Chain A
Amino acid sequence: MKILDILDEESIITELKSKSKKEAIEEMAVVAAKNDDSVNIETLVEVLIEREKLGSTGIGDGVAIPHGKLSSIENVMAVFARSEEGIDFDSMDGKNAHLFFLLIAPEDSAGSHLKALARVSRLMNDPKFRLSLMEAKSREEVYRTFADEDAKY
């Protein structure tokens, strides 16, 4: 699975305005809804917050992969966001999260959501890749960083 199959350039937030976990989730949900009419912001936020309550998706090393299912959408979609300062995401290692990869899957997706999750987790596990995402100067550059990785895949 290629990252760019699920991530548009418009779905990249180079610098989050949010300072808290709740706001960050909302800010990303707004972008998701802007790029897809079938996404209802309130429902999405509720789903994501409910998921976080069962266990944080902050996997450590400054990375969080919030995710959830929506019955209204057709395909797996993503929003990527960065925060220079970092946000307390209740991560397992107790450190702030700087890189956020939001994944939304249709309710009936047969395994494609897990493939996407596995692919994103593996990718974000690579320290060099994380560094290049953090250092990318613009939205285009972030997008290209993902494109380069896709080319290798």
Chain B
Amino acid sequence: MQIIIIGAGEVGYSIAEILSRENKDVVVIDADAARLKRVSDGLDIKTVCGSGSNPKVLSMAGLNQADMLIAVTDSDEVNMIACLIAGSQANIPVKIARIRNPEYAENTTILDKKHLNIDLAISPERAAADVILNILAVPHASSVAEFFEGKVKLFSLKVNSGCPVIGKLLKDLPFLHPGSNVLIPAICREGKIIIPRGNDLILEGDEVYTITASENVSRVISFFGFDADKGRRVMIAGGGRIGHYLAKKLEKQGISVKIVERCEAKCEEIAEDLKKTVVLNGDVSEQDLLTEENISNMDYFIAVTNDDEVNILSSILAKQMGAKTVITLVNKATYIPLTSQVGIDVALSPRLSTVSGILQYARRGKILSLTSIHEEDAEAIEVIALETSDIVNKPLKDIKEPKGAIIGAIEREGRVIIPKGEDVVLPGDRVLIFTLRASIKDVEKSLMVKMEFF
């Protein structure tokens, strides 16, 4: 598969890294020679220097042979022009563009099939905000993803000291009994993801992933010894696109939101749009302001300014001053591993949620959604099971499933099944597969249709 990526920033770089790791032929275009050098030095892939909206540059990058174009420069307009050229000049099958301005995606038909024909418009900021909203919906979870239109959730909980499941065998956990509709597909132990068996123990410090129907979520949380009540009080640092969008969604859920923004003009702008949210003009790394606004009463402190350092420092401060859970947006990939060491509960990178969306199009099979787990160590893939593929019409226990992959949920005619060994996937079912990175190739193979699929 030949893929052209336009834009060698953080997002472009990580997409190039992941796709080239999967043996796709990747070419990266950027007008900035220094940024390109970072790509060619770091990743050993072909680069072309020039503007991604220039037809000649695109031709040099092999536009005619390409199967996919991913335009992720900082400019929405360059990205859209690149897709337009790719469609009109070379009829590229898949076109993906980073579109940050929500006006393009929401208020016009410009992206649809008749016009630019963009398959996926990604907004890293919006994606990150949606990830935060998912996390807020499952108290104490450090990562949450939704599948089958929200009917099924995959989330992870950290096993802290005093947690009642410590030292228990998986098969002895009361909430895993047959018929409970709960499944543990993975445990993250000492930074490594493993797929556990019934005879594995749960240890202190583990991060346990759980798949369950959404109505079971609070029951599972309680079994882990956590309070299943959702947070009612949230403080957001940063009134930019993400902060504004988050506040708007949260106040609709009846959650009390305070938002701190340094720029006065911006404060006025968002205060006008938000109904119940308290908008504060000030510096979020000031202790006095945090004390005054009762930081110790906050269930969540969410730092989403456009400055990584401000986000991290204010999060540390908020945590120390008593905020229950702190969620921090971090753009620089190298900062992420540091965050857990300094007490940040959840660190998110906009890059990661973007990559998930793009990988969905790079994979074989009828894939409906794809979510990267624990950086990119594992994936949860939502697919349609097709006639003649290896996973249909036999009990799960008889599928020579790739090691390191597990079928976590099945949806048939609107009904959710958290499967056991005797269950059978039928053609047309929607299936949620949890797989380690090493097994992705084998999973793809098992989803492929045979020759006679017409």
Give the docked Cα–Cα distance between A55 and B386 (Å).
11
Contact B65 A55 (CB under 8 A): no
- Which of B145-153, B321-329, B418-426, B443-451 has 4 or more CB atoms under 8 Å from chain A? B443-451
Flag if B386 contacts A19 (CB, 8 Å).
Answer: no
Indicate whether B198 reaches chain A with its CB closer than 8 angstroms.
Answer: no
Residue of A nearest to B366 (CB): A54
Residue of A19, A45, A69 touching B65 (CB-CB under 8 A): A19
Query: Is A67 an interface residue when CB atoms closer than 8 A count as contact?
Result: yes
Contact string against A for B residues 378-402, beta-carbon threshold 8 Å, 1 for contact and 0 otherwise: 0000000010000000000000000
Do B451 and A20 have beta carbons less than 8 Å apart?
Answer: no
Question: Chain B contact residues: over half helix, strand or loop, or mixed?
Answer: loop
- If A19-B65, A20-B2, A22-B65 touch, whether A54 touches B449 (CB-CB below 8 Å) is yes
In contact, B91 and A45 (Cβ under 8 angstroms): yes
- Report whether A117 and B448 are in contact in the complex, using a CB–CB cutoff of 8 Å: no
Q: Mark A40-53, 1 if CB is under 8 A from B, else 0.
A: 00100110010101
Could you give, for residues 2-24 of chain A, a 1 whenever the CB lies within 8 Å of some chain B CB and a 0 otherwise? 00000000000000000111110
* B454 near A69: Cβ-Cβ < 8 Å: yes
- Which A residues touch B364, using CB under 8 A? 53-55
A65 partner residues in chain B, CB cutoff 8 A? 451
**C-alpha spacing A90/B67, complex, angstroms:** 13
In the complex, whether A61 has a CB less than 8 A from a CB of chain B is no
Closest B residue to A105 by CB, please name it: B454
- Contact yes or no, B453 A55, CB < 8 A: yes
In the complex, B64 has a CB within 8 A of chain A: yes
Known contacts A53-B365, A54-B365; A113 and B448 CB within 8 A of each other: no
Within 8 A of A (CB), among B129-184: none
Verify if A121 is at the interface (C-beta below 8 Å from B): yes
Asked if B264 lies at the interface with its beta carbon under 8 angstroms from chain A, I say no
CA A148 to CA B91, docked complex, whole Å: 38
Contact in complex: B451, A117 (CB < 8 Å): yes
Pairwise interchain contact A117-B454, C-beta atoms closer than 8 A: yes
- Measured between beta carbons, the chain A residues less than 8 angstroms from B91 are 26, 42, 45
Q: Please indicate the chain B residues that have their CB under 8 angstroms from the CB of A22 in the complex.
A: 2, 65-67, 93
Query: CA separation between A90 and B2, bound complex, in Å?
Result: 12
Specify which chain A residues have a CB less than 8 angstroms from the CB of B452 in the assembled complex: 114, 117-118
- CB-based nearest B residue for A20: B65
Any chain B CB within 8 A of the CB of A68?
Answer: yes
Q: What chain A residues lie within 8 Å of B454 (beta carbons)?
A: 67-69, 105, 113-114, 117
Judge whether B448 and A55 touch: CB under 8 Å.
Answer: yes
In Å, the complex CA distance between A114 and B65 comes to 30
Residues of B with C-beta under 8 A to A23? 64-65
Residues of the A chain whose Cβ atoms lie less than 8 Å from the Cβ of B386: 54
Distance between Cα atoms of A65 and B454 in the complex (Å): 11
Min CB–CB distance B445 → chain A (angstroms)? 9
Chain B residues with CB under 8 Å of A20's CB are: 2, 64-65
Which residues on B sit within 8 Å (CB–CB) of A113?
A: 454
A54/B93 in contact, CB under 8 A: no
List CB contacts (< 8 Å) of A29-71 with chain B. 42, 45-46, 49, 51, 53-57, 59, 65, 67-69
Give the residue among B365, B448, B449, B454 with the most A Cβ atoms within 10 A. Answer: B454
A57 to chain B, nearest CB (A): 7
Separation of A90 and B22 alpha carbons in the complex (Å): 14
A57 CA / B450 CA spacing, docked (Å): 8
Residues of chain B contacted by A51 (CB below 8 angstroms): 453
Expressed in whole angstroms, the minimum distance between the Cβ of A134 and any Cβ of chain B is 21
Q: A117 CA to B417 CA in the complex, in Å?
A: 36
Task: Encode A101-142 as 1/0 by CB contact (under 8 A) with B.
Answer: 000010000000110011001000000000000000000000
21 A-B residue pairs with Cβ-Cβ distance under 8 Å, sorted by A, are: A19-B65, A20-B2, A22-B2, A22-B65, A26-B91, A45-B91, A51-B453, A53-B364, A53-B365, A54-B366, A54-B448, A54-B453, A55-B451, A55-B453, A56-B448, A57-B451, A69-B454, A105-B454, A114-B454, A117-B452, A118-B452
A-side interface residues toward B, CB under 8 Å?
19-23, 26, 42, 45-46, 49, 51, 53-57, 59, 65, 67-69, 90, 105, 113-114, 117-118, 121
10 residue pairs, one from A and one from B, having the closest CB atoms = A55-B448, A20-B65, A55-B449, A54-B449, A49-B93, A113-B454, A22-B67, A53-B364, A67-B454, A59-B451
